[in-house]
């Protein structure tokens, strides 16, 4: 067997292993098909009270539209004053009142007998359920000597030795009336709990158990001024154990900046990979600036393309197309639920990814594609021999096994995935070397068919890089974007530059340029301006990569994106169907003289498009089916634009020769 055939055999083994992992991942994505639509209870109450809406009737209408759950937040000490079932007073305020007017209320008159202290807060509960909740929560949040029960009968009175500002931020459990309302209306509960850094396993078990037990709760989302998960910093494992025992999911809130992540978020998700669901929310200040159509579209995009399984809604406070505010919110929920179903998903309790473990031997086999493609590229330039293959394969397998041995396998897998993600687009470009030297097709139809053939070859080779990234890096944590592929920008930047250098300074693509002639050539204004423009375009390309960039898209681009999403369900990438794919089709259609003049620009454009194909699959939080559909849509549009470009070019040639 020849050296090249050996390399192709090793490459086939690696890609088949990657395909096996990809198939397993797709099954897991298909099973995690339930999306929970949640309403924030605190904001809902605020809106309903502002407009005197009947909360029960409003929630019934929302539930019929598709709402599944109510997110009930722990009552904070500072919110007690708005509760109909409790009251809180600072000792200093009560002392001032006693000096001025005394107490006519018998409860406070008896309270004065016990001796009101300046350094205490006084909490009054007017019903048994609230009194029982306060007794339980105060025992969790304060030491035994800091809490006194001044009156056990209703209305119950508690004295807490603390400062008013600290008491205002302490969680006092989930209000019983809101829990009862959710239960009566058939809505599931999403408890929103606040961390206390002093909590250990017993306190965490008690807090979670009280919030979840008997309340039809399946997902817990944490909140608080410090933005921490329960158990942070030293008891996150205890929280994971408690959540697993309670059989509830951890809702990790999607952010575009890691600095906005809840403290302890990654650690808790790592402890609960099969009980973590992705939550998408829009902040109230931002939501007020959006149109309802934009809100629906954003949530639809998150559910369809970013594995969001909890849509966290805040009520919209404006009218929409003549509807009342109440009817507007019902319609928003209805359209979001409709979008979930249109994406092939179901509305219900959020479903996490099942435990998805890739064993060391699977990763070792999948990683073989990386040394194979690197050696194939070297072989194209006459470099390499059989002993190189043996050395590369042994080194690759040892590297993977060492990564697993020291529990840093993901670092090794990311390194190998990055190498494959860069090498395969270059291999796709290398597969087209003969096309750059081929004669021009005789007719427009033949040129278009040749262009489609060239595009198909380049995509077939490049998709090997996408398979490598998927095969090596698919885990529940990467699919939830808890763990990220950090080399994405390099995947976008390296292939175009390397394709350009290979085109310019090797003879395989027909270029006659050498390093010496390039270095000795004079610098003129036109090439300098072109170089500056290309550098600027490259910077823009990298700055615009990722979910959130410093450079916002133009209004025209946003409109095009919206229309493409509406038309095609999944929007293709502009770098593919506008830049890379038409350039691939044009290569075969150009006259040899024109290829010699513009080949460098085509090489750069092809590198951009092929790199973006791998980048599409590097967004591991996007479902595989969505990425495949995105690529297919891009290929169809790219062929259409490429065919139009070929027709325009041939017409221009005929006019020039006439």
Instruction: Give the pLDDT band (50/70/90) at residue 340.
Output: very high
Instruction: Give the pLDDT band (50/70/90) at residue 84.
Output: confident
75 CB contacts (<8 Å, ≥6 apart)?
83, 171, 172, 173, 174, 175
- pLDDT at 531 (0 to 100): 56
Instruction: Give the pLDDT band (50/70/90) at residue 582.
Output: very high
* Encoded tokens for 392: 């590369």
Cα gap 509→339, rounded to integer Å:
48
- pLDDT at 484 (0 to 100): 86
* Pair 264, 228: CB distance under 8 Å: yes
* Pair 599, 569: CB distance under 8 Å: no
Cα gap 292→314, rounded to integer Å:
12
- pLDDT at 195 (0 to 100): 94
- Residue where one domain finishes, among candidates 150, 168, 186: 168
pLDDT above 90 (res 260): no
pLDDT above 90 (res 367): yes
* Pair 45, 639: CB distance under 8 Å: no
- pLDDT at 560 (0 to 100): 73
User: Does any domain span residue 364?
Assistant: no
Instruction: Give the pLDDT band (50/70/90) at residue 511.
Output: low
User: Does any domain span residue 24?
Assistant: no
How many C-alpha atoms does 315 have within 13 Å on its Cβ side?
Answer: 29
How many C-alpha atoms does 404 have within 13 Å on its Cβ side?
Answer: 14
323 and 423 in a single domain? The answer is no
- pLDDT at 559 (0 to 100): 66
Q: What is the mean pLDDT of the chain?
A: 88
Cα gap 93→597, rounded to integer Å:
85
Q: How large is the average pLDDT for residues 554-574? A: 72
Nearest 5°: the CA angle 270, 275, 277 is 95
Instruction: Give the pLDDT band (50/70/90) at residue 381.
Output: confident
- pLDDT at 538 (0 to 100): 59
- Name the nearest CA neighbour of 314 among 332, 327, 300: 332
Cross-strand pairs, 39: 70, 313
Instruction: Give the pLDDT band (50/70/90) at residue 598.
Output: confident
CATH at residue 276? 3.20.20.370
Q: Where are the alpha helices (DSSP H) in 259-359?
A: 265-271, 284-287, 292-305, 325-342
Q: In 3-state terms, what secondary structure has residue 317?
A: coil
Express each pLDDT in 605-653 by its tens digit.
999 999 999 999 999 999 999 999 999 999 999 999 999 999 999 998 8
239 and 151 in a single domain? The answer is no
* Pair 233, 267: CB distance under 8 Å: no
- Domain with 164, as residue range(s), is 79-168
Residue holding tokens 């690197």? 374
* Pair 487, 614: CB distance under 8 Å: no
Cα gap 467→213, rounded to integer Å:
44
- pLDDT at 325 (0 to 100): 95
pLDDT above 90 (res 456): yes
The percentage of the chain sitting over the pLDDT mark of 90, rounded to a whole number, equals 66
Higher pLDDT, 308 or 543: 308
- Residue where one domain finishes, among candidates 168, 194, 222: 168
446 CB contacts (<8 Å, ≥6 apart)?
none
User: What DSSP element (H or E) covers 52?
Assistant: none
pTM value surpassing 0.85? yes
Express each pLDDT in 410-440 by its tens digit.
999 999 999 999 999 999 999 998 888 888 8
244 and 339 in a single domain? The answer is yes
66 and 121 in a single domain? The answer is no
User: Does any domain span residue 383?
Assistant: no
Q: Checking DSSP bridges between strand 147-151 and strand 156-161, what pairing results, if any?
A: antiparallel
pLDDT above 60 (res 532): no
Express each pLDDT in 515-530 by its tens digit.
555 445 554 555 556 5
Residue holding tokens 């179901």? 346
* Encoded tokens for 409: 């396998």
Give the CA-trace dihedral at 452, 455, 459, 461, to 10 degrees.
110
- pLDDT at 596 (0 to 100): 84
447 and 525 in a single domain? The answer is yes
The percentage of the chain sitting over the pLDDT mark of 70, rounded to a whole number, equals 89
User: Does any domain span residue 576?
Assistant: yes
Please give the tally of structural domains in the chain: 3
- Residue where one domain finishes, among candidates 168, 196, 225: 168
Express each pLDDT in 8-45 by its tens digit.
999 999 999 999 999 999 999 999 999 999 999 999 99
User: Does any domain span residue 378?
Assistant: no
127 and 219 in a single domain? The answer is no
155 and 41 in a single domain? The answer is no
- pLDDT at 24 (0 to 100): 93
Higher pLDDT, 324 or 515: 324
User: Does any domain span residue 342?
Assistant: yes
pLDDT above 60 (res 207): yes
Q: Checking DSSP bridges between strand 219-223 and strand 188-194, what pairing results, if any?
A: parallel
520 and 570 in a single domain? The answer is yes
Cα gap 460→654, rounded to integer Å:
34
- pLDDT at 113 (0 to 100): 61
- pLDDT at 507 (0 to 100): 81
Q: Radius of gyration (Cα) for the chain, nearest Å?
A: 31
pLDDT above 80 (res 555): no
Strand segments (E) across 83-218: 86-90, 120-125, 147-151, 156-161, 188-194
Cα gap 464→467, rounded to integer Å:
5
Express each pLDDT in 44-83 by its tens digit.
999 999 999 999 999 999 999 999 999 999 999 999 988 8
Q: How large is the average pLDDT for residues 565-592? A: 87
* Pair 413, 471: CB distance under 8 Å: no
- Name the nearest CA neighbour of 371 among 6, 7, 4, 3: 7
335 and 461 in a single domain? The answer is no
Cα gap 620→126, rounded to integer Å:
52
Express each pLDDT in 225-244 by its tens digit.
889 999 999 999 999 999 99
280 and 422 in a single domain? The answer is no
Higher pLDDT, 535 or 517: 535
Nearest 5°: the CA angle 502, 506, 507 is 130
- pLDDT at 221 (0 to 100): 97
Q: Is 510 left (phi over 0), alpha (psi -120 to 50) or beta?
A: left
116 and 234 in a single domain? The answer is no
586 and 562 in a single domain? The answer is yes
Cα gap 522→188, rounded to integer Å:
73
User: Does any domain span residue 352?
Assistant: no
Instruction: Give the pLDDT band (50/70/90) at residue 138.
Output: very high
Q: How large is the average pLDDT for residues 310-322? A: 95
* Pair 457, 606: CB distance under 8 Å: no
CA-CA-CA-CA torsion sign (332, 334, 337, 338):
negative
* Pair 179, 193: CB distance under 8 Å: no
CA-CA-CA-CA torsion sign (406, 408, 412, 415):
negative
Q: How large is the average pLDDT for residues 493-513? A: 84
Residue holding tokens 């105060």? 138
User: Does any domain span residue 530?
Assistant: yes
- pLDDT at 654 (0 to 100): 84
């Amino acid at each position: 067997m020849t050296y090249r055939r050996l390399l192709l055999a090793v490459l086939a083994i690696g890609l088949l292993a990657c395909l096996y992992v990809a198939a397993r991942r797709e099954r897991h994505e298909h099973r995690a098909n339930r999306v929970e639509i949640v309403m924030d209870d605190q904001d809902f109450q605020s809106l309903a009270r502002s407009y005197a809406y009947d909360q029960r009737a409003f929630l019934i209408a929302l539930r019929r539209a598709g709402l599944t759950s109510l997110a009930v937040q722990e009552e904070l000490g500072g919110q007690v004053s708005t509760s109909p079932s409790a009251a809180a007073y600072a000792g200093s305020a009560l002392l001032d009142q006693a000096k001025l007017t005394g107490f006519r209320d018998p409860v406070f008159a008896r309270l004065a007998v016990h001796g009101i202290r300046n350094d205490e807060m006084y909490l009054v509960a007017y019903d048994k359920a609230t009194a029982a909740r306060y007794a339980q929560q105060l025992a969790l949040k304060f030491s035994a000597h800091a809490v006194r029960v001044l009156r056990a009968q209703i209305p119950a009175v508690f004295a807490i030795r603390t400062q008013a500002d600290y008491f205002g931020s302490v969680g006092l459990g989930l209000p019983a009336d809101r829990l009862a309302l959710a239960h009566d209306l058939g809505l599931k509960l999403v408890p929103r709990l606040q961390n206390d850094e002093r909590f250990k396993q017993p306190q965490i078990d008690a807090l979670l158990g009280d919030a979840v037990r008997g309340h039809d709760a399946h997902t817990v989302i944490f909140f608080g001024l410090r933005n921490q998960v329960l158990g942070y910093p030293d008891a996150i494992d205890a929280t994971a154990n408690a959540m697993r025992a309670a059989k509830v999911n951890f809702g990790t809130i999607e952010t575009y900046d890691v600095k906005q992540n809840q403290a302890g978020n990654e650690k808790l998700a790592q402890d609960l990979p099969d009980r973590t669901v992705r939550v998408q929310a829009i902040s109230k200040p931002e939501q007020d600036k959006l149109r309802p159509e934009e809100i629906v579209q954003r949530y639809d995009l998150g559910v369809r393309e970013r594995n969001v399984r909890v849509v966290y809604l805040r009520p919209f406070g404006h009218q929409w197309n003549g509807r009342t505010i109440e009817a507007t919110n019902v319609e928003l929920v209805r359209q979001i639920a409709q979008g979930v179903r249109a994406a092939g998903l179901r509305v219900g309790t959020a479903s996490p990814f099942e435990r998805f473990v890739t064993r060391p031997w699977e990763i070792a086999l999948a990683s073989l594609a990386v040394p194979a493609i690197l050696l194939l590229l070297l072989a194209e330039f006459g470099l390499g021999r059989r002993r190189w293959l043996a050395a590369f394969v042994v080194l690759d397998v040892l590297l993977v096994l060492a990564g697993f041995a020291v529990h840093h396998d993901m670092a090794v897998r990311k390194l190998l995935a990055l190498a494959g993600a860069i090498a395969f687009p270059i291999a796709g470009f290398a597969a087209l070397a003969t096309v750059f030297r081929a004669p021009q097709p005789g007719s427009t139809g033949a040129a278009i068919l040749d262009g489609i053939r060239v595009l198909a070859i380049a995509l077939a080779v490049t998709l090997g890089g996408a398979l490598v990234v998927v095969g090596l890096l698919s885990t529940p944590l990467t699919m939830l974007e808890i763990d990220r592929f950090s080399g994405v920008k390099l995947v976008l930047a390296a292939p175009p530059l390397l394709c350009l250098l290979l085109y310019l300074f090797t003879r395989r693509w027909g270029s006659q340029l050498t390093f010496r002639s390039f270095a000795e050539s004079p610098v003129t204004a036109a090439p300098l301006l072109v170089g500056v423009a290309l550098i600027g375009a490259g910077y823009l390309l990298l700055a615009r990569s990722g979910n959130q960039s410093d450079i916002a898209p133009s209004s025209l681009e946003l409109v095009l994106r919206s229309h493409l999403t509406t038309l095609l369900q999944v929007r293709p990438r502009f770098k593919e169907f506008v830049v890379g794919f038409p350039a691939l089709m044009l290569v075969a259609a150009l006259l040899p003289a024109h290829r010699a003049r513009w080949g460098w620009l085509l090489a750069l454009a092809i590198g951009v498009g092929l790199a973006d194909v791998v980048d599409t699959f590097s967004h591991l939080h996007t479902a595989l089916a969505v990425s495949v559909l995105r690529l297919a849509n891009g290929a169809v549009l790219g062929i259409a634009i490429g065919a139009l470009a070929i027709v325009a070019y041939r017409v221009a040639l005929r006019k020039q020769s006439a």
